[in-house]
Amino acid sequence: MPIASVTELRQWLGFDQLTASLQLNDIEGKVESISLDLLSTAGLMRSRDFIGFMDRVTVLWQKSVDVEDQIGGYNLGFQRRINKIQQDLLHIAETAVEFY
């Protein structure tokens, strides 16, 4: 399933079901960067996983963009990386519950 837009990426990540928001900088129709703003009200900012998670997201996204630029289109590797990001988000959401 190719992801053609920012909206599709949001939906595919399942952000409607998570207490997190996704910001994508869409420059000239191409997604250039990704950042995640996790809500502190959910205790996520205090999670020990947060910094490592953000580093991993940044690195995975940059690698995905590099690969996509080289082959000219979305591929299964990109979808696997996004799936891993989604799993990490779910893990952080579960971890955050421990801080209440």
Whether 18 and 85 have beta carbons less than 8 Å apart is answered as no
In angstroms, the CA 37 to CA 22 distance is 6
**pLDDT at residue number 20:** 41
Number of other CB atoms surrounding residue 60 within 10 Å: 18
Element (H, E) at 87: helix 76-96
Our CA angle for 34, 39, 98, nearest 5°, is 120
Cα 19 from Cα 17, distance rounded (Å):
7
What residue spans define the domains of the chain? Answer: 6-99
For residue 79, what pLDDT is reported?
A: 59
For the chain, what is the mean pLDDT? 51
pLDDT at residue 94 is higher than 50 = yes
Mean pLDDT of 19-36: 45
